[in-house]
Amino acid sequence: MTSPVRRAAALVDSSPAAAMRLLGPYLASEPDDWFALCLAAQALIALEDSDRSLQLSRRAAQLNPEDDWPVRLQAIAHRNLGNTAMAPWLARRSVLINPANWQTHYLVANTDLWANDVGPQAMAAAEKARELAPDEPSTHNLVGQIALAQGRSRLAIRSLEQSLRLDPENTIARHELARAHLRRFRLAKSVTGFLAVGRMDPTIPQTGINLHAIAVGTVQLLHYAVLAACILNPLLAQASAGLVLLIVLGGLLWARYRGGPALLRFVAGIPRRDPLLVVWAGLVLLAGGLLVLRGALTLGKPADTAAANGLTGIALLLLIAGMITTWIRRLRFKPADLSGRRKQPPRPPGTSAR
């Protein structure tokens, strides 16, 4: 390996642009060096130039058809270009060339996940990659992601926790673990997980979207619970309204002492990002407050007093107005509005030589 190629190999992961500055002049004089072509193709993937990467990796595969690295690079370039037919086919071809390399199996599973093909074959490939590289955090992460896509949240949590034990700074694994906890309705763990991801990498747009989804789901659950109780049983309505207020108070206290400033800043920014959600939540809380007041007025008295019935009617109108607000909100609100700066997903393992 010549000096420019050796230096480029050391730089390709940390500084792909610097690696390309070394490889450009070298490949101009040595265009048939398949290893240097692969390094350049890998650097171009990191630089989001998949078209040129595909050209170079194809040339490398022609020069050395017995190595899986050029084929894996082609598969990743095709995936980045949105070619749902060629990317999985090339990923599986890399396994045929080198079944002992965990990265080939990882690439098959990763490509299937990208194509939303999360059947038994995707999981089998991910588990084979984990078997071949048990100390590689990304293999456990991939098993967890596929398990989550399959609806197997328990397996997802176990795999993602193992990934984080091997690499505690892995924001993708932490984000997916928060999603898995959300699937199992562990709201506290889910929220703290998303907040941790936001602190580690504020550029990940899905963090804010998922936190916002939790807020919307909470308001929706409380709304329909109070509405159902209000219609079915006045006494139950009073109890439900009190429960709503207690949950809100408890949530605020938890946000203050466990969620920290990051969660408070997120909550404080909701009126700017989604004002109709604030209107909706306000209507639910106001209806709940009226029902609590109704309970206080009827305490020890007949439950059919005119004042009590009037408060119940107003509360129902507020809850119906809340439903109308949700319909308007669905027409106007787009989750992408929360994302802020967008970031390309990280390049997965599968581009290195071994």
Tens of pLDDT along 71-109? 999 999 999 998 888 999 999 999 999 999 999 999 999
- Whether pLDDT at 53 is above 60: yes
How far apart, in whole angstroms, are the C-alpha atoms of residue 210 and residue 203? 14
How far apart, in whole angstroms, are the C-alpha atoms of residue 111 and residue 177? 20
Span 127-143, average pLDDT: 94
Question: What integer pLDDT is reported at residue 63 of this predicted model?
Answer: 93
- Whether pLDDT at 47 is above 60: yes
DSSP summary character for residue 274: -
Ranges of each domain in the chain: 1-65, 213-338
How far apart, in whole angstroms, are the C-alpha atoms of residue 122 and residue 101? 16
Span 170-190, average pLDDT: 84
How far apart, in whole angstroms, are the C-alpha atoms of residue 324 and residue 303? 29
Question: What integer pLDDT is reported at residue 315 of this predicted model?
Answer: 79
C-alpha distance across the termini of the chain, in Å: 16
Please give the CATH number for the structural domain made up of 1-65.
Answer: 1.25.40
DSSP-assigned states of every residue in 279-346: HHHHHHHHHHHHHHHHHHHTTTS-TT-HHHHHHHHHHHHHHHHHHHHHHHHHHH--GGGG--S--PPP
What's at 204, amino acid-wise?
I
Span 20-24, average pLDDT: 91
Question: What integer pLDDT is reported at residue 343 of this predicted model?
Answer: 38
Question: What integer pLDDT is reported at residue 344 of this predicted model?
Answer: 39
Question: What integer pLDDT is reported at residue 342 of this predicted model?
Answer: 36
How far apart, in whole angstroms, are the C-alpha atoms of residue 73 and residue 262? 39
Longest dimension (CA), the chain: 96
Residue with tokens 């500084």: 15
- Whether pLDDT at 19 is above 70: yes
The residue among 203 and 46 whose pLDDT is bigger is 46
32: helix, strand or coil = coil
Span 219-229, average pLDDT: 77
Question: What integer pLDDT is reported at residue 336 of this predicted model?
Answer: 44
Query: Which range has the worst mean pLDDT, 85-94, 141-150, 199-208, 321-330?
Result: 199-208
Question: What integer pLDDT is reported at residue 244 of this predicted model?
Answer: 63
- Whether pLDDT at 261 is above 70: no
Question: What integer pLDDT is reported at residue 339 of this predicted model?
Answer: 39
Question: What integer pLDDT is reported at residue 293 of this predicted model?
Answer: 74
The residue among 194 and 134 whose pLDDT is bigger is 134
Span 133-143, average pLDDT: 94
- Whether pLDDT at 5 is above 80: yes
Span 267-285, average pLDDT: 81
Query: Is residue 66 packed enough to be buried (19+ CB in 10 Å), middle (13-18) or exposed (0-12)?
Result: exposed
CA 68 to each of CA 34, 91, 106: distance values in angstroms, whole numbers, following the listed order: 12, 9, 13
Q: Report the alpha-carbon angle 341-346-347, nearest 5.
A: 145
Residue with tokens 């997120």: 266
The alpha carbons of the chain give a radius of gyration, in whole angstroms, of: 27
Query: Which range has the worst mean pLDDT, 77-81, 163-167, 232-236?
Result: 232-236
Query: Which residue in 91, 69, 93 sits closest to 351, CA to CA?
Result: 69
Question: What integer pLDDT is reported at residue 159 of this predicted model?
Answer: 95
The residue among 220 and 353 whose pLDDT is bigger is 220
140, two tokens: 């456990």
The residue among 134 and 303 whose pLDDT is bigger is 134
Question: What integer pLDDT is reported at residue 183 of this predicted model?
Answer: 82
**pLDDT-based confidence at 313, cuts 50/70/90?**
confident
What is the chain's mean pLDDT, rounded? 81
| Three-state secondary structure readout of 74-96 | HHHHHHHCCCCCHHHHHHHHHHH
